[in-house]
Amino acid sequence: MRSPRVSVICAVFNGAPFLEEAVESVLRQEFDDFELLLVDDGSTDGSEAIARNLADRFPRRIRYLAHPDRVNRGASHARNLGLAQATGELIAFIDSDDVWRPQKLSEQLRIMDENPAIGMLCGVVNYWSSWAGGEDRLVATGSRIDSTLTPPNALLHLYPLGVGHAPCPSDLMIRRSLVEAGCTFEETLSGPVQMYEDQMFFAKIYLSATVLFASRAWLDYRQHPDSCVSVVFRDGLYHGMRRGFLAWLERYVGDHPGPRTDQVIRAIHQARWDLDHPTLARLRRRARRFLSPEPKISDEQRQAGAPPPPS
């Protein structure tokens, strides 16, 4: 059969409460030439049954994948399994607790087709709290809206080395050629909870591809106390994981030298110093934000990105 233009990868670990809603948001896309790969990472909460049922109901659209013996291997292994099985020329991800807007694939595909030089695209993100009675917040990703960043500018300007907001994996669209060139998820991480596997993946892309941060909002990024980020901060794991990421990044940059490698290494050393001197680091970040404020979202963009009214 002809390969779809887009492969959508959803890694699932105990995502039963929200999985069907995430999948429904994919199936509601205006653009429909896609495949959805549901990768079960050894769930124990009923996610397997939900994913298998969805694959049975939509066999032309959804495929169910799992590790041998259905073991839990972590998000990086699960996403890489999806990447290995993906057939589309473009790749998108959605976490099992997030929701896409209906125009997500159609608008991203148009931008990617109009800008063949870019390897990755993402937009403004709605930090979605209204689903549980909270207040939503639109956050512009990157350091410049609707303009490209060539290597290694995104790495230097965005978190974790810079002050710009990092992308959410569920918002990305990337070219499959980046995966074929080695931009996959790191499988060296250990422990039941990880936070920086996404940043490792982004770093590989930032060092090798031109990226574009758009002014459109395509993602409702669900905020809840059981998310990976919430657990990491609640359990006091953040600083240890950040140190591990910086050590990995320095090794990776040393093994893959490119434009302005020395500047990237200096930024890594500065980030490590910031960890050891948190008070001075906060003052430094404030100064950097004052000198390089985050992109502003216009009223028109804010209205376009506003979540739909509750039904």
Predicted pLDDT of residue 238: 83
Average the pLDDT over 113-130 and give the result: 97
Tell me the percentage of the chain whose pLDDT exceeds 90: 77
186-226 tens-digit pLDDT: 998 755 556 789 999 999 999 999 999 999 999 999 998 87
Q: Residues 158-172: what's their mean pLDDT?
A: 94
Q: Which of 25-29, 74-78, 232-236 has the highest mean pLDDT?
A: 25-29
- The rounded Cα 6 to chain-centroid distance in angstroms is 16
pLDDT of residue 143: 85
Cα distance between residue 91 and residue 172, in whole Å: 8
What Cα–Cα distance (Å) separates residue 111 from each residue in 88, 147, 148, 219, 300? Answer: 17, 12, 12, 16, 19
Asked whether the domain spanning 99-291 has the same topology as the one spanning 1-97, the reply is: yes
* Residue 42 φ/ψ region, left for φ over 0, alpha for ψ in the -120 to 50 degree band, beta for the rest: left
What's 152's DSSP letter?
A: T
H helices of the chain, in order, are: 19-27, 47-57, 75-85, 104-114, 153-157, 176-180, 197-206, 228-234, 238-255, 261-276, 278-291, 299-305
Q: Which residues contact 257 (CB under 8 A, 6 or more apart)?
A: none
Count of CB atoms situated within 10 Å of the CB of 125: 24
- Which sequence spans correspond to the domains of the chain? 1-97, 99-291
Confirm if 125 and 219 have CB atoms less than 8 A apart: yes
Residue 307 pLDDT: 46
pLDDT tens, 44-72?
999 999 999 999 999 999 999 999 999 99
The model scores a pTM over 0.85: yes
Query: 265: which 2 tokens?
Result: 């290494």
Mean pLDDT of all residues in the chain? 90
Question: Residue 311: its pLDDT value, please?
Answer: 33
Multiple choice CATH, 99-291, 3.90.550, 3.40.190, 3.30.43, 1.10.3470: 3.90.550
- Tell me, what's the pLDDT at 206? 97
For the chain, the straight-line distance linking the first and the last C-alpha, in angstroms and rounded, comes to 39
Work out whether strand 137-139 and strand 118-128 pair parallel, antiparallel, or are unpaired.
antiparallel
Label residue 301 by pLDDT band (50, 70, 90): low
d(CA 285, CA 269): 15
- Contacts of residue 12, Cβ cutoff 8 Å, sequence gap at least 6: 19, 38, 39, 40, 41, 43, 47, 51, 78, 96
Find out whether 177 and 234 touch, Cβ atoms under 8 Å: no
CATH of domain 1-97: 3.90.550.10
Q: How long, in residues, is the chain?
A: 311
